[in-house]
Amino acid sequence: MDIPHETPDENSKATREESAAIEAVTRYNRDAQNARVIKTIPLPSTSGYLCLVEFNDKRHGREENWPVIVRGRRADVYYDWEFAIADATSRRWFFEFFSADVVLALLSFGILITVVVMFFNAPQVPDAFSAAFTTVLGYWFGKLAR
């Protein structure tokens, strides 16, 4: 859930991250009352924070503790600690950078460069490289046509 970029009141002692965590929990659970952050932990692998938000659940009549990961303007609410810790410690940037589209683009660029170099240096480009080149061109132009 994206959160607006607001600063807390001057009289409030909550940081922007803590305010974002409280707002995310109250948006996610409309029955949350008296939400407060009881612990904030900076995440070493990212520029985010793990906040533990405690609140009273008026529907179930009990106190709840939910972890919230705040990264920049985004706050993710978790019901279970295991998922929050797994997400907080994951190497998300690695998998986002090496997504299927990025790998496909790198392979396409490699094939393109190989065929262009072979075209200028060799008397004839082998049929396998020509087929790969036309397949790559067809894929990218076909993707644009959708």
Cα angle value 69/13/28 (rounded, 5°): 35
In the predicted model, is pLDDT for residue 10 greater than 80?
A: no
Q: For the segment 25-53, what is each residue's pLDDT rounded down to a tens digit?
A: 999 998 899 999 999 988 876 678 999 99
DSSP letter, residue 61: T
Which tokens sit at 69?
């990961």
Average pLDDT along the chain: 81
Where are the extended beta strands (E) located within the chain?
32-42, 48-57, 62-71, 74-77
Instruction: State how far the Cα of 60 lies from the Cα of 106, in Å rounded to an integer.
Output: 52
pTM of the model: 0.52
Q: For the segment 113-139, what is each residue's pLDDT rounded down to a tens digit?
A: 988 888 888 878 888 888 988 998 888
Coil vs helix vs strand at 80: coil
